[in-house]
Chain A
Amino acid sequence: MIERRSHIYGVMAEFDTAEQLVEATAKTVAAGYQRVNAYSPFPIEGLAEALGFRQSNVPRLTLLGGLLGGSGGFFMQYWMAAVSYPLNIGGRPLNSWPAFIPVTFECTVLGAALFAVLGMLALNKLPQPHHPVFNAPRFGLASNNRFFLCIVANDPRFDRVQTAQFLESLHAHDVVEVFDE
């Protein structure tokens, strides 16, 4: 284990398989740890739940975006065609609402999509190219074939030695301390 005069971010355990990670995560949470993070090369069902993560707000944001886009789109057309400069276009009514539907729909989709993506990024606090976990020597494999569990130092129950031992006890492949210089 590397000795460093810099403050510690947390302790990280590496596992071989997704099953092990889920199991370990469950145990960790059960052991009363709260500031826990799991890292995997692909989404694993139940992992987030195991971390006690329930509800993502992305759907709500998307709905909001859709509503804004849609209503904005329609009223833009209505205002331009019927209020701002009403003109006789081939005898069609000023508020030709059926003709305004396609644009309204596109605006809805656009608004929703933008909110969904930007919302997801924002909630995930991305972009965040620099993060302490990247200091973990083998963390590069988190985007390949390895699974990591990290207990963060600001957890009330965190203790460099005990936490590390606790993780060892979960049959981790190995356990490292992650520093945040």
Chain B
Amino acid sequence: MSSANSVPPFRRVAPVLEPGHTYASVTEKISSIVLSRPAGTGWYLAFTLAFGLVMMLGMALAYLIAKGTGIWGINIPVGWGFAIVNFVWWIGIGHAGTLISAILLLLNQKWRTSINRFAEAMTIFAVMCAGIFPLIHTGRPWLAYYMLPYPSTMGVWPQFRSPLIWDVFAVSTYFTVSLLFWFVGLIPDLATLRDRAHSRLAQQLYGILAMGWRGSARHWHRYQSAYLLLAGLATPLVVSVHTVVSFDFAIAIVPGWHTTIFPPYFVAGAIYSGFAMVLTLAIPLRKIYGLEDFITMRHLENMAKVMLATGLIVAYGYAMEFFMSYYGGSKFETFLAHNRLTGPYWPFYWALILCNLVVPQLLWFHKVRVHVPTLFLLSLVVNVGMWLERFVIVVISLHRDFMPSAWGMYAPTFWDWATYIGTLGMFLALLLLFVRALPVISIAEMRELVAHTSEEQK
């Protein structure tokens, strides 16, 4: 039905789906990863590592609850340290998933199809990792429910002027909606797995999850309008979430936080880091599971382009911060700018500039965008860079604010690191389980893609 040969071999733009695929072949290829292909030793090794880290996270949290946040490096003036840095970082990473699946869907970008599934998974896992931190960074986590608007016997309510309350709502909404979006997308594929599974147990499990999906035309119709609506809702949501996260800082009066540029530049930064993370995951994934046909150079290159674009927005953000700090003429802001460049934490700031501004400029070159190993390295660099950005914002702004007499320094402790690395392990573990249990690429949408490409080629 399709004829790859008709396409010239020396084309510059790779297709979103390598030719030669049929409904059956995509179904087979993707579902087999879950159903028939055994987990290799590689997977087991990776999972063991990840699980070990999760255990470390468990210990770190237990010790934290036993002793208090004093086990971390935080102090007065630096009341927020790694916990908030990691929170913002993880949330940011989450954003790419929603962006890819929702916004690109609305923009009708076909190339999203083969990456949106695990991008969404990434979102959910990242938000789970992020969600841990606001909870545990409180001095008395067991009272965190004070932040919920429930009718307490004390007759008191949350304080809705606080950005932290906005966070509670934004993050929980974001998690719920992402989960729904992901699940709705999964339903037809769950049906496929149900129908292709051999073991009774698998049939029943996938069967229950598929909720009896049978691909009826009417169902598809409602399904599609629901899916589109979710995409339409998720788009402003994702923007709002990181805007709210940026409010955590922008609403405060701390020099370096109290600025109006934060919302846009946080959102851009989020997408920036998010795409970096998608690349970090997609590149090994397509290699290991031989999905090069589905996740083609086209995808990688497009993501690289998005990174370049958002990277430039972030750069603009940095520039504006400096411009405003001098133009605004507030001695506190001016000092902060100066302190970033030359203060005790200068290596962090310059490393951030290197990772987020300098190195990514390589993406201007097509050769770099299509050179997979380089791209992989670049994505890692940007991940580090964006983490540094949050560190710079949180720590450098706090450690020297208004009263010189109260200036201090922050240095992370072993437990800061254990918690952070622990969440990395948790993220990896969830991802590994996901790869084994659910189709990493949306089969139904791939079939559509097959249909379309075959039409195009007719």
Contacts and interface: CB of A to CB of B under 8 A. Distances in A.
Interface of A: 18, 25, 37-44, 47-48, 50-51, 53, 56, 58-59, 62, 76-77, 80-81, 84-85, 89-90, 92, 96, 99-100, 102-103, 105-107, 109-110, 112-114, 116-117, 119-121, 123-124, 126-131, 133-134, 139-145
B63 interface: no
Most buried by B among A84, A109, A133, A140: A109
A42 B161 contact: no
B226 A120 contact: yes
A105 B448 CA distance: 34
Nearest to A80: B157
B225 A38 contact: no
Given A38-B216, A110-B176, A144-B195, A129 B211 contact: yes
A58 B234 CA distance: 16
Interface of B: 22-24, 27, 149, 155-161, 163, 165-166, 169-170, 173, 176-177, 180-181, 183-184, 188, 191-192, 194-196, 207-208, 210-226, 229-230, 233-234, 236-237, 240, 243-244, 247, 444-445, 447-448, 451
A41 B214 contact: no
A131 B212 contact: yes
**9 closest A-B pairs (Cβ-Cβ)?**
A127-B211, A145-B23, A120-B226, A128-B212, A80-B157, A48-B221, A140-B195, A43-B220, A38-B217
Given A62-B229, A80-B149, A80-B160, 4 more contacts: A48-B221, A80-B158, A116-B230, A144-B192
Contacts of A53: 217-218, 221
B222 A113 contact: no
18 contacts: A18-B451, A39-B214, A48-B218, A59-B225, A81-B161, A84-B157, A85-B156, A96-B160, A102-B170, A102-B240, A103-B165, A103-B166, A109-B236, A112-B229, A112-B233, A117-B180, A141-B195, A145-B22
B226 A119 contact: yes
A85 B444 CA distance: 52
A112 B236 CA distance: 13
B214 A81 contact: no
Interface of chain A: mostly helix, strand, loop or mixed: helix
Interface of chain B: mostly helix, strand, loop or mixed: helix
Nearest to A146: B23
Given A56-B225, A110-B177, A51 B233 contact: no
B79 to A, nearest CB: 18
A123 to B, nearest CB: 5
Contacts of B163: 102
B229 A39 contact: no
Contact of A144 (B161, B169, B196, B218): B196
A78 to B, nearest CB: 9
Given A53-B218, A142-B215, A143-B191, A129 B177 contact: no
B208 A99 contact: no
B184 A117 contact: yes
A41 B23 contact: yes
B231 to A, nearest CB: 10
B244 A58 contact: no
B449 to A, nearest CB: 9
